[in-house]
Amino acid sequence: MLRKSDLLFLTFLRQNARQTLTSISKKTKIPISTLYDKLKQHEKALILKHTTLVDFSKLGYNSRAKIMISSSKEDRDKLRGFLVSYPRINSLFKINNGYDFLAEGVFKNIKKLEEFLELLEEKFCIKDKKVFYIIDEVKRESFLSSPETVNQLIADDELGGYSITA
């Protein structure tokens, strides 16, 4: 059972996972020892990993794209393995509606991105692909990242199989 205090705690972690438990305790009025216990409990059940979001353009990677790919059944597993191991693929999802994968790629420039797409066509039997170039990031990783939204989430009861109590 997930409590409102758990959701509140998770929103502060989503905002900045490096902030101290002391800082979160002051904001939430939840004792530090309780937050520590919640953190350990949620690391086993809810929290997949602690990570850093990077502005790739400041590292010189100025081209990003979401690529929907449909492949032949024979190539699907090989394509998946290739995309999982390819260093320029940031995220990979198995999807539906006529496509097999949605890949987010990060490249130095459009030329490198186009070379990657040509490589896919050469190595695999690609039935269809759609490329969406990311021009600007408008919103990212914001779900469950604001304490102000906790009450709305509870009212909407949108947290999967978890029961929420006040």
Element (H, E) at 67: strand 63-71
**Residue 88 pLDDT more than 60?**
yes
Instruction: Write down the pTM of the prediction.
Output: 0.83
Compute the average pLDDT of residues 74-80: 97
Q: What is the pLDDT of residues 122-138, one digit of tens each?
A: 999 999 999 999 999 99
Same domain, 77 and 126: yes
Sole residue written with tokens 């530090």: 32
Domain count, the chain: 2
Same domain, 72 and 30: no
Same domain, 70 and 123: yes
Same domain, 62 and 98: yes
Q: What is the CATH number of the domain that holds 16?
A: 1.10.10.10
Task: Tell me if 107 sits within 8 A of 69, measured CB to CB.
Answer: no
Rounded percentage of the chain residues whose pLDDT exceeds 70? 93
Exposure letters 22-33 (e unless 16+ CB within 10 A, then b):
eebbeebebeee
**Residue 159 pLDDT more than 70?**
no
Query: Rounded CA gap, 113 and 119, in Å?
Result: 10
**Residue 67 pLDDT more than 70?**
yes
Three-class SS of 68-123:
EEEECHHHHHHHHHHHHHCCCEEEEEECCCCCCEEEEEEECCHHHHHHHHHHHHHH
Compute the average pLDDT of residues 106-124: 97
Give me the domain span that covers residue 19. Answer: 2-52+161-165
Q: Among 23-27, 37-41, 154-158, name the one with the lowest average pLDDT.
A: 154-158
Same domain, 91 and 128: yes
Same domain, 110 and 65: yes
- Residue 27 falls inside a structural domain: yes
Both tokens of 10, joined, read 């998770």
Same domain, 70 and 110: yes
